Structure 1
Amino acid sequence: MKLTLRTLKYTLMLLLAAASLLPIIWMVFGSFRPYQELFKYSSSLSPHILIPVEFTWKNYQNVIFSTRNPFLRFIGNTLWVAGAVTAAVLLINSMAAFAFAKLRFRWKPALFALFMSAMIIPGEVTLVPNYLLMHDLGWLNSYKALIIPSMLSVFGIFMLRQFFAEIPDELLEAARMDGASLPRTFLSVVLPAAVPALITLGLMTFLGNWDSYLWPLIVINDHKMQMIQVAIAAFSSTEGTDWSRILAANTISTVPILLLFLFLQRYYIQGITMSGIKG
């Protein structure tokens, strides 16, 4: 009976994994097909549904070396913005989370509840006020409009607070008795103990900014300053609906995220399980 249940469990897991990976596999193989072949075998059950008949690198050449849409520059723009936002989020939100978790100050529960209430507000509601604010500050068509408003993450504060709350107060007291100041305690004791949670928040933040589309589309007007997801949409509209090139562009944009997650997945899973956020 146990063997049967285990077999059913692993079979179900394999089916779910296959269903999740199939679109990605089709995207990768489709990026090596000519446009005329892409949908030719979509209604058949032959292996050529996935495997290209005419293997070509031309789609990647057209994407990478396009003079109208410098794709490598778009990747560099996105890496710069996503990296800057991630670094700022880790610094600012870790300090805020530490204050809410371990420091004593007036109105702390009320302030924390006010922060948490912001999580229920959809981003679309604040889109127009944020745009007007960027306009008044003169930050439109600059990376400041992408980086500075994204520095604060309410979810990041909540997640790190859950993690910091589990650090024993005796550890902080021992550091204070050894003569360590509060900033020294935060840098030398708290942050090293929170590496899994910080990596988890960093991955989430980086991925969110890497995949950002609507906000960069609104605040960035210079095409050469644009982010990668907006660039892919612009690529498809200017070059026509050449889905082979679009699949190649999507494959390129997916590779950095997959590599980042593969190298840091152990810390990511550990951070989720240790921060008290389950399910």
Structure 2
Amino acid sequence: MHRFASIVKYTVMTVLAVISIIPILWMISGSLRPYEELFKYSSSLNYHLFVPVQPTLANFKEVIFNESNPFIRYIANTLFVAGIVTLLVLLVNSMSAFAFAKLRFRGKAVVFALFMSAMIIPGEVTLVPNYLLMNYFGWLNSYKALVIPSMLSVFGIFLLRQFFAEIPDEILEAAKIDGASMPRIFSSIVLPAVVPPMITLALMTFLGNWDSYLWPLIVINDDKKQMIQVAIAAFSSVEGTDWSKILAASTISTVPILILFLFLQRYYIQGITMSGVKG
């Protein structure tokens, strides 16, 4: 029975993995096809569904070297914004989570409850207030509008707080007795103990900002400062949608995320697993 259960488990996992990877394979295959061939084999079940008949790199060339839609610049903009936001999220939210987990101050429970209540508010509800706030500060059409509203993550505070709470208070008290300041305790004792959840939060934050579409579309009007997902959507216009270029651009935009996850997947899985156990 144990062997049969293992066979069933791995079979289900394999089927789910194949189902998950099929759209990615079709995206890569479509990016290598001429537009005329793109949907020609979409309803067939032969190998041409994933293998181009006339493979070409013209779609990638037109996307990368498009003067009216400079895709490389959009990638650089997105890397810059996503990287800055990720660093700020790790810094700000780790300190906030540590305060909620280990420090004592009046009204801590009430403030934390208010933070947690923000998790049930859909992001679309705050679009108009955030836009008006950015307009009031004069940050529209600047990277400030993309970075500063994203530097606080309620989920990130909740995630890290669970791990900080598991650090024994005796270790922190011993460090205080030895003369360590609170910043020294935080940087030398607390942060090294929560590396997996920090990397998990970093990956989730980077991916969220890399895939961000609606907020950059609203607050950024300068094409030179635009983000990658808005740039991909620009290949669709009133004249028609060039799906070959969209698939090529989507393939290019997927590569950095795959590389990042490839190197950090062990920490990501460890952080998710540990959060499930400790939560």
Counterpart for residue 55 of structure 1:
55
Stretch moving more, 64-73 or 42-51: 42-51
For 2:83, the equivalent position in structure 1 comes to 83
1:269 counterpart residue number:
269
Matching of residues 142-221 of structure 1 within 5 Å: 142-221=142-221
Gap change, CA 1:273 and 1:237, over 3 Å in 2 = same
Q: Which residue of 2 aligns with 1:106?
A: 106
After superposition, give the CA deviation of every residue in 1:111-168 in whole Å (9 maximum; x if it has no partner).
1001101111111111101100111110000000000011111000000000100111
Aligned pairs (5 A) from 1:8-157: 8-157=8-157
Shift of 1:63: 0.3
3-state SS of paired residue (1:124)? helix
Distance in 2, matches of 1:94 and 1:238, equals: 46
Question: 1:224: how far off?
Answer: 1.6
Structure 2 counterpart of 1:267, which letter? Answer: Y
How many angstroms apart in 2 are the aligned matches of 1:190 and 1:94?
A: 10
Structure 2 runs not aligned, ≥5 long: none
How much does 1:173 deviate? 1.3
Q: Any unmatched runs of 5+ in structure 1?
A: none
Are the aligned partners of 2:163 and 2:278 in contact in 1 as well (CA < 8 Å)?
A: no
The secondary structure found in structure 2 opposite 1:275 is helix
Map of 2:245 onto structure 1: 245
Equivalent position SS for 2:206: helix
Instruction: Output the aligned Cα RMSD.
Output: 1.4
Give a deviation string over 1:38-68, Cα, whole Å, max 9, x none.
1111222210010011010000000000000
The answer to whether the 8 A contact 1:159-1:277 is kept is no
8 A Cα contact 1:134 1:140, kept in partner:
yes
Q: Do the aligned residues in 1 keep the contact of 2:196 with 2:268 (CA within 8 Å)?
A: yes
CA contact (8 A) 2:235 2:241 kept: no
Distance in 2 between residues matched to 1:125 and 1:80, nearest whole Å: 27
- C-alpha distance in 2 between matches for 1:276 and 1:250: 32
Q: Which digits, 9 at most, give the CA deviation of each residue in 1:9-32, with x for residues without a partner?
A: 211111111001000011011110
Structure 1 stretches of 4+ with a deviation exceeding 3 A read: 276-279
1:277 Cα deviation after fit? 6.8
Taking structure 2 as the reference length, the TM-score comes to 0.97
Distance in 2 of aligned mates of 1:196 and 1:238: 46
Aligned-pair identity (%)? 75
Please say which of residues 165-174 and 77-86 is displaced more in the overlay: 165-174
Q: How many residues align?
A: 279
- Offset of 1:110 from its aligned partner? 0.6
| Structure 2 equivalent of residue 254 of structure 1 | 254
